Amino acid sequence: MLNYLALGDSITYGQNASSSSRAYPSRVTAMLRLKGIQAKLRVLAQPSWTSSDLAEEIYTDPSLLSSANVITVWIGGNDLIQGMMNRFKRRLDMILGMARIMGVKHIVCCTQYNPFPNSAIAVNTIGSMNQVIIASATTNRCLVAQVDRWVSGNEHRLIDGYKGGHAEDALRGFAPVHPNDQGHELIATRLFSSIYPLIRR
C-alpha cells in the first residue's frame, strides 16, 4: 500500500475544480492506481491556510506524516497575500524537516505559479517566493516540482476565470487564482511523472 498525503491550501483542497475527484491529488492517485499501485490518498488542506496553519496541524498530529510514503507540499500563496513572508521560510523548513524526521521517504515540494503574469509586482514577489521554496526544498533533500514553469504561458487555459493576467483583476470581485479542471489535470500529470519514478526504484 502506498499512502499519499497531499499538504496545502485551497489549490490542494480543490477549490474551483468541478469536483474533488478532478483536483490534482485525486488525479495523481488515480494515475498511480492505473499503474497497478495500491494508492491511498489523504488530503490535509484548507482554503486560506498559510504555512503557519499547516505547520500547526502537522505538529498537533505528527502521525499524519509517519503513515505517509509520499507527500506533496504546496503552500505559500496565502502567506504572500497576508504579508507573512518574513516567517514563510522558517515555517516551510519546519514542515519539510518534520516530514524528514517522521521518516517520509519521498517529499515533493511545489513552487507557486503566477496567476498575474502581466503584473511586474506579481512577477517579482512570486519569483522571490519560489527562490525561497527551492532553497528550503534543497536544504531538506526534497524534490522540487516547478509548477510555475508548467503553467507559464498557459495561464489563460489553466486558471479558472483568467482575465488579463493583471493583479488588478483580483479587485473585481472574483480572484482568478485557482486552477480549472484542465489546470488540475496538467499539474497531476506532471506530478505523477515526478512521483512514479521515485516509487519504482
Number of H-type helices and E-type strands within the chain: 10, 5
pTM: 0.96
Residues β-bridged to residue 41? 4
Output the pLDDT for position 173: 65
- Average pLDDT estimate for 36-48: 97
Does 171 score more than 90 pLDDT? no
Instruction: For residue 40, give the 3-state DSSP assignment.
Output: strand
The domain locations on the chain are: 2-195
SS (H, E, C) 93-148: HHHHHHHHHCCCCEEEEECCCCCCCCCHHHHHHHHHHHHHHHHHHHHCCCEEECHH
Question: Is the Cα dihedral 166, 170, 173, 177 positive or negative?
Answer: positive
Q: How far is residue 165 from each of residues 43, 76, 119, 170, 184, measured CA to CA in Å? A: 29, 20, 7, 10, 19
- Average pLDDT estimate for 125-133: 97
Output the pLDDT for position 169: 78
Fold of 2-195: Rossmann fold (3.40.50)
- Average pLDDT estimate for 97-101: 96
Cβ atoms within 10 Å, residue 132:
18
DSSP 62: T
Does 170 score more than 80 pLDDT? no
Q: Is 118 exposed, middle or buried (0-12, 13-18, 19+ CB in 10 A)?
A: middle
* Residue in the structure block whose three cell numbers are 507527500: 71
| AA identity, residue 187 | I
Least confident of 55-64, 80-89, 169-178: 169-178
Average pLDDT, rounded, for the chain: 95
CB-facing half-sphere around the CA of 76: CA atoms within 13 A? 29
